[in-house]
Amino acid sequence: MMTLKTVFADVRDVTLAYGQGEESVMAVDHLDLKVGRGDFIAVVGPSGCGKSSLMKLLTGLVPPTRGAVFIDDNQVTRPIKGVGMAFQNSTLMPWRTTLDNVMLPFEIVEPHKRRLRGNRKHYVGLAERILSSVGLDKFGQKYPWQLSGGMQQRASLCRALIHEPELLMLDEPFGALDAFTREELWSVMQSLWMEKKFTSVLVTHDLREAVYLSNVVHVMSKRPGRLVMSLDIDLPRPRTLETTFSPAFMDLVHRLRDKIRAEHEL
């Protein structure tokens, strides 16, 4: 059971509506969610259930219509600093090398921004080490268009984590990749999390991905979104591709699928 001392992100009775009056659209309604520090959670549910809205609420990109969001016991009233983010598309800048793309947070996030010029060698070393950890040590001087889709996503994960954020937001980061590359990057993502123990929130439609990566999977209802199931994933780590064929793994996936199907039928 999570205690209050271990809670890092806390969504308290939050409602979010877009627009006003008759054209208002309710995205989430009376949503409660707690995320433990250093936890890896996944959020799944029917299309349009408010998963992306939840990410915006947690990072302060949109304010709740009602209720409150807290990060590390501080109420979120504006976009929060020091968040790492990775999306379905790599969003690497095509005119920058892989190494320079990964170093971008050092140029904009304090205190690294003011230290970079005088300690560039140190920061380059940090970027080279994290690239090496995901198998990109020989590709630092390549441009994004010279990398495969999977390699671009590896570089995007490195960029999201290089400044050691306390919170990593993952919005369908592997959704555009083929099945083999996607499964390979699950292992990469798991290794990074096990090493650095950042708090991570993954939004995904892939139930196998959710079970493989997370400690807890939260299922949201159809719009307006609310939590209808929280499933603990007690599978030992590190998990492997063989894990995904085990009866315990498949049982968890089927339980999630059954719940989402039931939401569709309501």
Token pair 């892939």: residue: 206
Domain assignment present for 87: no
- Answer yes or no: do 56 and 75 share one domain: yes
Domain assignment present for 97: yes
pLDDT per residue as tens digits for the range 86-108: 887 778 999 999 999 999 999 98
Last residue of a domain, one of 165, 190, 219: 165
- Answer yes or no: do 156 and 177 share one domain: no
DSSP conformational letter for 80: P
Element (H, E) at 261: helix 247-265
Contact 82, 167 (CB under 8 A): yes
Residue percentage of the chain with pLDDT more than 90: 71
Token pair 């969610």: residue: 33
Q: Which pair of structure tokens corresponds to residue 74? A: 């501080």
Residue range of the domain that includes 158? 92-165
Number of domains in the chain: 2
pTM for the whole structure: 0.89
pLDDT per residue as tens digits for the range 167-218: 999 998 888 788 898 899 999 999 999 998 999 999 999 999 999 999 999 9
**45: closest CA among 214, 264, 211, 231?**
264
**CA 212 to centroid of chain Cα atoms:** 14
Inter-CA distances, 87 with 82, 153, 156, 225, 257, Å: 16, 9, 8, 21, 24
Token pair 């929060």: residue: 80
For the domain that residue 31 is a member of, what is the CATH number? Answer: 3.40.50.300
- Answer yes or no: do 182 and 121 share one domain: no
Domain assignment present for 258: yes
